[in-house]
């Protein structure tokens, strides 16, 4: 049934004004009767004629007026449609699900493939997902790209309440029932973005280049050949700088400063800083290999801020063992190189200097609180015990923060629950929060990430923080540390603390239980002295043996439980050999006191399989998926774990994944392996 067209509003009132005017004439005629009856009758006659004429005109002309109004509306609508169709701004109408309903000529030129857009606008602009479409009358903006053009897209929800108009005062339940479409406008910003890219490319980038082992190289080369060898390195560096149109300046005998345009940075990234390999390949005529570290600062801000970022990047590179490049852009870092095992330093000068600073810090505070990483292992506990002995030798009260004592630590831990040690030597996080104040020194061992520590809240509360760790430094390391001692070449934190102890003085001597705890930490982190052991490792072990460490007793402590051995065997039996080179297994945490430690043991065992480049063991524990990664010398698992948010060493690393199942974590690891293979990193 056809709906009748009705005139409404001002137009309807305007067309009826002659009828309303007749009322005025009627009132005037009544007044005429009071003046003269004859005049009143004449007025009645003329009023009747006027009403007759008005009715005839209104009734006969109403249909014509309606027809003319319809024709005007049609012409006006066609004009609007033509204006939208020929509008120079790309404009389209989408369904609320994101399907293209209509688009003007300019919009169709932009998208090209109209058929794909009718299925979903996401096929044309991946940036516009269903979640980004407006659900309420509120404009949304999305930056999109079509081919080589860039656009700022504005999305507006249009709600028809049944009367053909948009009503912003509709209730939410009324909106659901109303007709909903999305108006889409594209504003091109290609020139602006290209101009911004050109401006960024012309920005100057600050960089630092250090020769890592300059002193060792000089000592190993004959005096007559020293100048020639250093000239070879300088020539390589200068030639590399010329390739990126950089201005370089040698600040010291082993330090360079350089600046270059940011457009050349992509070239350095694509070649993965080939200067690192070029320097390593220089033949110095002996067994020594030169390595360099590079720190680059980019991003917004003035040149001084970029230089400070370059210095921070260099600190990261050196803290991770050198022989690598770090790009720091604000809070984001990129790492390149660092594939090789760090060269062990023969000199102990650094250990002696750090020991002297640590001694002054301990003597400058009333007490010392020590903590390691969460779910502490033997290395973190042994290092903590060593720091406590240093503090006690310097007549300072010391405490170790331990929230959970795992099965792997318990045999060592129980030896400190005797009358020889204070009852409050071991404290939990809440007790530590009450103790730490302006007169407390917080020492963090075996970890350099604040979020991985036993009690992260202590870091913010403490005024003086010391970090002693053997893991390579990451971008989110503890920034407020007054003493940051990172030695990636060291086998363990216990080895580092053992070295420091020898330079404290004051007649320091470890008790047998303390020496064995530290000895056990070295033994576990080196997988029974098979990995990451150097001359200084065995020197530290000799020092601990002189202080009463019993190797046989330590070995007995770490014999495996039968149930854990069965879990280990089951995990190895169900191991997946991904791409024929990467062993991936899952370890059960049920009935295991230290699931993560068991996972590490399984990862070590998987390396004994012929052809395996790296092993990865997943353990679901306390709502997280822990990954233990191990390799021998063919893969840098530390770089791989960093991509998953973790870290560690070149051949021993790990990470923790939250809100994820083991299957999802396994898929993510495989994806990371595939990406690293494509990039030539695996």
CATH of the domain at 283: 3.30.70.270
Do residues 226 and 314 share a domain?
yes
| pLDDT given at position 169 | 43
Q: Are strands 367-371 and 440-445 parallel, antiparallel or unpaired?
A: parallel
Within a domain: 428: yes
Between helix 349-363 and helix 378-393 the angle, nearest 10°, is 60
Phi/psi-derived region of residue 19, left when phi > 0, alpha when psi is between -120 and 50, beta in every other case: alpha
Whether residue 1 lies inside any domain: the answer is: no
Predicted local confidence at residue 174, as pLDDT: 38
Which of 505, 529, 557 is the endpoint of a domain? 557
Same domain, 377 and 452: yes
- Asked if residues 478 and 459 have their Cβ atoms less than 8 Å apart, the reply is yes
Convert 614-651 into a string of H (helix), E (strand) and C (coil). Answer: EEEEEEEECCEEEEEEEECCCCCHHHHHHHCCCEECCC
**CATH number of the domain encompassing residue 446:** 3.90.1640.10
Same domain, 216 and 281: yes
Does residue 581 lie in a domain region?
yes
Measured in residues, the chain has a length of 682
247: Cβ contacts below 8 Å, ≥ 6 apart: 241, 258, 259, 260
The structural domain count of the chain equals: 5
C-alpha closest to that of 346 among 63, 211, 539: 539
pLDDT score at 171: 39
Say whether both 419 and 517 belong to one domain.
yes
Task: Report whether 355 contacts 500 (CB < 8 A).
Answer: yes
Q: DSSP label at 395?
A: T
Regarding whether 97 and 81 lie in a shared domain, the answer is: no
Q: What is the reported pLDDT for 669? A: 93
648: left (phi > 0), else alpha (psi -120 to 50), else beta? left
Which CATH number characterizes residue 598's domain? 3.10.310.30
Q: Are residues 483 and 444 in the same domain?
A: yes
- DSSP labels, 181-214: EEEEEEEE-HHHHHHHHHHHHHSEEEEEEEETTH
Please report the pLDDT score of residue 452 as a whole number.
Answer: 85
Residues 498 and 377 in one domain: yes
Q: Is residue 619 part of a domain?
A: yes
Contacts 24+ apart (CB under 8 A), 568-573: 568/598, 568/601, 568/602, 568/605, 571/602, 571/617, 572/602, 572/605, 572/606
Residues 506 and 468 in one domain: yes
Q: Please identify, among 69, 85, 101, the residue that sits at the C-terminal boundary of a domain.
A: 85
* Residue 221: partners with Cβ closer than 8 Å, 6 or more residues away: 229, 284, 285, 286, 288
CATH at residue 159: 3.30.450
Indicate if 398 and 540 belong to the same structural domain.
Answer: yes
Domain containing 666 equals 564-678
553 falls within a domain? yes
Q: What is the mean pLDDT of each run of 10 residues along the chain (682 residues)?
A: 54 68 79 80 83 76 68 64 73 86 85 83 87 83 87 84 43 46 89 84 90 82 82 91 92 92 90 89 78 90 88 84 86 76 59 91 94 90 95 95 86 89 91 92 91 89 92 73 86 93 91 94 85 85 92 82 86 92 90 81 90 93 90 83 83 88 92 87 72
Q: Kindly report the CA angle at 221 between 215 and 227, in degrees rounded to 5? A: 85
Residue 17, in any domain of the structure: yes
* Paired residues of 514 in beta bridges: none
In order of 50, 57, 66, 173, 279, the CA distances from 60 in angstroms are 15, 5, 11, 45, 100
Residue 344 covered by a domain: no
Residues 367 and 485 in one domain: yes
* Residue 199 burial class via C-beta count within 10 angstroms: exposed 0-12, middle 13-18, buried 19 and up: exposed
Domain boundary, last residue among 180, 196, 212? 196
Q: Are residues 311 and 387 in the same domain?
A: no
59 shares its domain with 102 = no
For residue 342, tell me if it sits in a domain. Answer: no
């Amino acid at each position: 049934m056809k709906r009748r067209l009705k005139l409404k509003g001002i137009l309807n009132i305007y067309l009826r004004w002659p009828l309303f005017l007749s009322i005025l004439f009627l009132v005037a005629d009544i007044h005429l009767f009071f003046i003269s009856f004859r005049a009143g009758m004449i007025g009645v006659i003329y009023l009747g004629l006027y009403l007759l004429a008005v009715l005839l005109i209104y009734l006969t002309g109403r249909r014509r007026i309606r027809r003319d109004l319809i024709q005007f509306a049609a012409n006006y609508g066609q004009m609007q449609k033509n204006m939208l169709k020929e509008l120079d701004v790309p404009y389209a109408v989408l369904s609320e699900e994101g399907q293209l309903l209509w688009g003007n000529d300019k919009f169709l030129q932009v998208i090209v493939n109209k058929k794909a857009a009718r299925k979903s606008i996401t096929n044309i602009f991946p940036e516009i997902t269903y979640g980004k479409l407006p659900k309420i009358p509120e404009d949304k903006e999305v930056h999109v790209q079509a081919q080589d053009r860039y656009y700022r897209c504005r999305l507006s929800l249009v709600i028809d309440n049944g009367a053909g108009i948009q009503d912003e005062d509709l209730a939410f339940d009324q909106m659901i029932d109303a007709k909903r479409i999305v108006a889409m406008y594209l504003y091109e910003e290609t020139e602006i973005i290209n101009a911004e890219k050109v401006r960024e490319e012309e920005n100057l980038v600050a960089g630092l280049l250090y020769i890592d082992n300059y002193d060792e190289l000089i000592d190993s080369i004959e005096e007559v050949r020293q100048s020639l060898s250093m000239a070879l390195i300088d020539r390589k560096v200068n030639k590399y700088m010329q390739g990126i149109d950089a201005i370089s300046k040698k600040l010291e005998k082993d330090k360079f400063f350089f600046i270059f345009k940011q457009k050349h940075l992509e070239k350095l990234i694509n070649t993965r800083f080939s200067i690192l390999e070029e320097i390593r390949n220089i033949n110095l005529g002996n067994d020594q290999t030169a390595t360099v570290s590079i720190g680059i600062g980019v991003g917004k801000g003035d040149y001084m801020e970029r230089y400070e970022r370059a210095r921070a990047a260099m600190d990261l590179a050196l803290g991770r063992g050198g022989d690598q490049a770090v790009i720091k852009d604000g809070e984001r870092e990129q790492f390149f190189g660092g594939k090789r095992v760090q060269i062990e330093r023969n000199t102990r000068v650094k250990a002696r200097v750090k020991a002297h600073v640590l001694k002054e810090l301990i003597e400058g505070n009333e007490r010392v609180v020590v903590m390691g990483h969460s779910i502490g292992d033997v290395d973190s506990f042994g290092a903590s015990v060593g720091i406590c002995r240093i503090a006690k030798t310097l007549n300072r009260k010391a405490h170790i923060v331990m929230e959970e004592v795992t099965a792997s630590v318990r045999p060592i831990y129980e030896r400190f629950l005797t009358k020889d040690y204070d009852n409050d030597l071991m404290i939990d996080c809440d007790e530590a929060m009450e103790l730490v104040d302006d007169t407390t020194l917080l020492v963090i061992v075996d970890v350099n990430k604040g979020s991985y520590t036993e009690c992260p809240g202590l870091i913010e509360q403490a005024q003086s923080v010391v970090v002693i760790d053997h893991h390579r430094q990451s971008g989110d390391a503890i920034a407020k540390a007054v003493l940051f001692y990172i030695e990636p070449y060291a086998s363990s934190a216990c080895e580092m603390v053992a070295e420091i102890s020898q330079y404290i003085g004051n007649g320091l001597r470890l008790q047998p239980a303390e020496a064995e705890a530290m000895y056990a930490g070295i033994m576990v982190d080196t997988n029974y002295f098979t990995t990451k052991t150097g001359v200084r490792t065995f020197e530290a072990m000799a020092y601990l043996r002189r202080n009463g460490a019993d190797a046989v007793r330590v070995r007995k402590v770490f014999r495996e439980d039968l149930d854990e051995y069965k879990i280990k065997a089951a995990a190895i039996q169900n191991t997946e050999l991904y791409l024929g080179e990467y062993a991936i297994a899952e370890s059960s945490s049920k009935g295991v006191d230290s699931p993560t430690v068991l996972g590490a043991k399984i990862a070590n065992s998987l390396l004994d399989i012929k052809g395996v480049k790296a092993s990865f063991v997943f353990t679901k524990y306390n709502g997280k998926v822990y990954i233990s990664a191990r390799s021998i010398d063919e893969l840098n698992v530390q770089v791989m774990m960093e991509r998953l948010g973790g870290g560690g060493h070149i051949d021993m690393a790990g990470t923790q994944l939250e809100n994820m199942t083991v299957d999802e974590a396994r898929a993510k690891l495989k994806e990371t392996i595939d990406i690293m293979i494509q990039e030539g990193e695996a």
